[in-house]
Amino acid sequence: MAKRFFLIVLDSFGVGELPDAYLWHDEGSDTLGAIRNHPNFLCPNLKELGLFNIDGVGGGVPSPKASYAKMAEKSMGKDTTIGHWEIAGLISPEPLPTYPHGFPEELIREFEQKTGRKVICNKPYSGTEVIKDYGKEHVETGALIVYTSADSVFQVAAHEDIVPVKELYRYCEIAREMLVPPHNVGRVIARPFNGEYPYTRTANRHDFSLVPPADTILDLLQKAGYETISVGKIYDIFAGSGLTESNRTTSNTHGMQVTKEMQARDFNGLCFVNLVDFDMKYGHRNDIAGYAAAATEFDEFLTSFIRDMRKDDVLLITADHGCDPATPSTDHSREYTPMLIYGQGIRGGVNLGIRKTFADIGATVLDFFGVPQENTSGESFLKAVQR
């Protein structure tokens, strides 16, 4: 009989600062805490599953339908790439490089030479603000807007009428090939925009990630003959490694629609989903109202998703880091993440406490399919929650 595991990452949905948050200047960060009292936040399904029963969150229900845990990140970072890698069984003891003062001049000169275009900006910047401040110059000169953030990213923005999307992707591939140690950033991101000033970013963003340095649970599942289906930017985060199918999405709404389509299909394996709008549209823009509304939309999606789950299906909801929209910072925050696991074969109300690593999730996925962990990290909690 086919077995299906749906692993959904609510990108940046943190539940409070980690003990070492001070190392990233993230003291006091609490993404869920920032949105839960907003009038746009209405999440009865998440509450019934046990989101508020998680240690330290508060406001739980007497008999949660799911089992739950608070996940600590063991990797040294707070970015999307290593957060997802850790979920998939790879712990990163060294942080990926960041560039708080911009990229080295020699690196930029090499990129200019290889693309045949000048570079402007080369600073940490908000993605929406950078096109306001540098968009006109780009349109007038054709120079590429290169910028970064507190994360390990090399971002290239260009107007689609000046630099066609395929050409922008080619430039990003050039950057990806260039960025080797010690400049091996986690992601090179194409950031196309269009329209008239102050311009609008389009849905044609594309991430060019590092290839994971070792096998993840995706590789192990694929080698064992299981399907590994990605929804959203999962394919980009893992550079396609270990995935049998990719489904790109343009928004949370689209991502949930595709996930429902996957649920209606017969497959045998893992469906790994990333819902990016929490982070990209709301966390980074300090939009508490938008973040709260996105949580409500996801909760509404859960109504039909839970109703349509098959007998042997398992649903696990988690996050990869925080991005507290209530702090002055617009960057990711070093936070615990939630973990809710649900299904007919999963007991409700089991408090798995505070887990030492996100990798426990990957270990649990492998355990569900009976696939040995080999060299991946983490400790499965499947036996603690199975009926």
Tell me the DSSP string of 245-302: EEE--SSHHHHHHHHHHHHTS---EEEEEEE-HIIIIIITTT-HHHHHHHHHHHHHHH
**DSSP letters for 53-70:** GSTTT----SS-SSEEEE
Q: Which pLDDT score, from 0 to 100, does residue 178 have?
A: 97
Cα 161 to chain centroid, rounded: 29
* Mean pLDDT calculated for residue range 37-62: 98
Cα 214 to chain centroid, rounded: 19
Quick check: 88 pLDDT over 70?
A: yes
Q: Which pLDDT score, from 0 to 100, does residue 110 have?
A: 98
For the chain, give every domain's residue range: 4-94+211-385, 105-209
Quick check: 1 pLDDT over 80?
A: no
Q: Which pLDDT score, from 0 to 100, does residue 177 have?
A: 97
> What residue type is 194 in one-letter code?
N
Query: How far is Cα 228 from Cα 218, in angstroms, rounded to an integer?
Result: 6
> What residue type is 46 in one-letter code?
L
Q: Which pLDDT score, from 0 to 100, does residue 150 have?
A: 83
Write down the CATH number for the domain with range 105-209.
3.30.70.1250
Sign of CA dihedral 178, 182, 184, 188: negative
Quick check: 85 pLDDT over 90?
A: yes
Question: Considering the chain, what percentage of its residues have pLDDT values greater than 90?
Answer: 97
Q: How buried is 133 (Cβ within 10 angstroms: 0-12 exposed, 13-18 middle, 19+ buried)?
A: middle
Question: Considering the chain, what percentage of its residues have pLDDT values greater than 70?
Answer: 100
Q: Which pLDDT score, from 0 to 100, does residue 285 have?
A: 92
Domains 4-94+211-385 and 105-209 share a fold: no
Q: What is the pLDDT of residues 267-295, one digit of tens each?
A: 999 999 999 999 999 999 999 999 999 99
* Mean pLDDT calculated for residue range 55-80: 97
Give helix 288-307 / helix 252-263 axis angle, nearest 10°.
Answer: 10
Decide yes or no: CATH 3.40.720.10 for domain 4-94+211-385.
yes
Q: What is the pLDDT of residues 238-271, one digit of tens each?
A: 999 999 999 999 999 999 999 999 999 999 999 9
pTM: 0.93
If one counts every other C-beta atom within 10 angstroms of the C-beta of residue 263, the result is 18
Query: How far is Cα 55 from Cα 353, in angstroms, rounded to an integer?
Result: 7
CB-based contact 27:34 (threshold 8 Å): no
CB-based contact 72:54 (threshold 8 Å): no
| Confidence class for position 98, pLDDT limits 50, 70, 90 | very high
Q: Which residue has the tokens 């196309």?
A: 192
Cα separations in angstroms, 324 against 35, 98, 332: 9, 20, 7
Mean pLDDT, all residues of the chain:
97
